[in-house]
Structure 1
Amino acid sequence: MRKIKKKHKAMYAPMDDLVTYRALPTREVEYIDPFLFLNHHGPQVYKPGNRGLPFGPHPHRGFETLTFILDGDIMHQDTGGGKDVIEAGGVQWMTAGSGLIHAEVSSDKFKKEGGPLEILQLWFNLPAKYKMTEPRYIGLQKDKIPVVTLDNGKVKVNVVSGSWGEVQAPIQSLSDIHMVSIEMQKGGHFIYNIPTERNIFFYVVRGSVKVNGETADKLTLVEFEHEGKEVKVEATEDAYILFGHALPYNEPVVSHGPFVMNTEQEIREAFRDYQMGKIGRWEG
């Protein structure tokens, strides 16, 4: 089995009235190459007449984002022309690449009616050769995401990017990042093999599981060594996890706010390009 290096508890880091836990980066772990950042918003219930999500127009360059909408919705708009509302069970994948400005807010319907909200946003680094690639956006509702059912229906794997076994995901990343979300009923289990050279991303969103013999409760990020291939998971209560893997880039990571590049000079250039309108001009 793949050896566990350490388990990290997500830090409480609220944003205005938005309940938020940050699993990456924390004081204990900076990143798991190429997985850079994970914010877990909610779970919480918004009252009718709320302000919704606080993520108004802001720029990005040099990385990709994957957003899981577990409850509530997100209205996305960007300067590359992407615009839609993704509802519970759906995902959004955005390649910032050379740069864009986007906003992630709640729909008018959600702000008017309120309701439960739980959203996770994961950032992936882009290797140097793809840092300045053309931006793109993909929004998928729940019914567009393939589901693999295991253990007599006790485990449901939502295949978001890359593949799971023979099942190809609707999103194929530039740098072969494989990501799924997994819904598990108590007692459900699965085994998955991942080549030793690839880094694993494993985060428990809800419930509790045993992974390779160790207990991991909700809000826990599990960091693995490069030793062994097998990942064995059993749900000790109903659970929901994010699970993925990718080859590490082993490149310098220099990040500042909304930009992730390889050098300080490239960060300065990103800020300059943003100020000059080269990353896009917001017309929302």
Structure 2
Amino acid sequence: MPAKTVIAQHAAYRDDIGDLVTRRPVPGPGLEQVDPFLFLNHHGPQTYPPNNRGLPFGPHPHRGFETVTFILHGELAHRDSAGHESIIRKGGVQWMTAGSGLVHAEISPDDFKRQGGPMEILQLWVNLPSRLKMTTPRYIGVQAPEIPTLSADGGKAMVHLISGSWSGQTGPVPSLTGVFMSWIELQARGRAGFGSLGGRSVLLYVVSGQVTVNGTVAPEWNLVRLDLEGDMVEIVAQTDAVVLFGHAEPIDEPVVAHGPFVMNTREEIVQAIRDYQAGLFEGVAV
């Protein structure tokens, strides 16, 4: 099987939100998206003191895409206008399909604000094709024990499988568009390999540590861009490392984004703003 070729690497740039340490590898200079992966924020790692204000993401709207949020450390409370509500803790994931429109809040629970503690969160935006942009909103929150953790390379690599199938297991989130999503913990010299990737876009971000990707060194806080044609990816840790790894078929449609709305045309963006202002995203108080 031909290995995918590393085309480029994109270092995440700092874009702190108040006292929240934030790095963003995409979008960034020279990289608008990794179709269908639109946006990735890496919050932390940092430690919040007792009696902190918590995360700053109060009620805000979305339409036309999905958010996938990985709680690597700490905990995150979610509430949205469709009535979904949960607190997801370390190792868990929130997968929200905004679809036709939701208002949601992502904040720190009261216990975390009172006690403080370590916090590291990744949030990924995944585009939806035009046929699904107005789909019914949904939300799936899964705690760490619900996520299969699959061992590779004699236990030197642990693959936390969120969606899609690997090594005979299937993740707990059924993706509407066949997205494979995982995060991987590797010990130094541990390796994990993935095949059957021809024609699929790969999202590979080094959260911490240093790895090689098909033989190319990739340090932490770098997104590795790979070609579409190759079929295989092998990740080998040079140090203890954590990697966000996903893949999907490109949508290959126009993308028009305005703040929290991602559609195919400017007219659809204008309509999304009007619908939000008219209160059409509201269902319950957030």
Moved more, 191-200 or 43-52: 191-200
What is the aligned partner in structure 1 of residue 184 from structure 2? 182
Q: Cα distance, 1:67 vs. partner?
A: 0.3
What is the aligned partner in structure 1 of residue 198 from structure 2? 196
Q: Does 1:258 align with 2:257?
A: no
CA RMSD in angstroms, aligned pairs only: 0.9
What is the aligned partner in structure 1 of residue 31 from structure 2? 29
Q: Cα distance, 1:281 vs. partner?
A: 5.2
Q: Does 1:114 align with 2:116?
A: yes
Question: Aligned partners of 2:102 and 2:229: how far apart in 1?
Answer: 39
What is the aligned partner in structure 1 of residue 142 from structure 2? 140
Question: Aligned partners of 1:124 and 1:131: how far apart in 2?
Answer: 11
SS of the residue aligned with 2:174?
Answer: coil
Q: Is contact 2:83-2:284 (8 Å) kept? A: no
What is the aligned partner in structure 2 of residue 86 from structure 1? 88
Q: Is contact 1:194-1:231 (8 Å) kept? A: no
What is the aligned partner in structure 2 of residue 68 from structure 1? 70
Tell me how many residue pairs correspond in the alignment. 284
SS of the residue aligned with 2:194?
Answer: strand
Q: Cα distance, 1:253 vs. partner?
A: 0.3
Q: Is contact 1:57-1:282 (8 Å) kept? A: no
What is the aligned partner in structure 2 of residue 222 from structure 1? 224
Alignment of 1:89-168 (within 5 A): 89-168=91-170
Structure 2 unmatched ranges of 5 or more: none
Structure 1 unmatched ranges of 5 or more: none
SS of the residue aligned with 1:2?
Answer: coil
Q: Is contact 1:100-1:280 (8 Å) kept? A: yes
Q: Cα distance, 1:76 vs. partner?
A: 0.3
Question: Aligned partners of 2:283 and 2:276: how far apart in 1?
Answer: 9
Q: Cα distance, 1:282 vs. partner?
A: 5.5
Instruction: Tell me the amino acid that sits aligned with residue 144 of structure 2.
Output: K
Residues 106-152 of structure 1 show CA distances to partners (whole Å, capped at 9, x for unaligned) of 00000000011000000000000000000000000100001110111
What is the aligned partner in structure 1 of residue 209 from structure 2? 207
Question: Aligned partners of 1:270 and 1:226: how far apart in 2?
Answer: 32
Question: Aligned partners of 1:97 and 1:228: how far apart in 2?
Answer: 31
Q: Is contact 2:199-2:230 (8 Å) kept? A: no
Question: Aligned partners of 1:170 and 1:89: how far apart in 2?
Answer: 14
TM-score normalised to structure 1 length: 0.98
Q: Cα distance, 1:226 vs. partner?
A: 2.1
Instruction: Tell me the amino acid that sits aligned with residue 145 of structure 2.
Output: D
Runs of 4+ in 1 over 3 A off after TM superposition: none
Identity of aligned residues (%): 53
SS of the residue aligned with 2:244?
Answer: strand
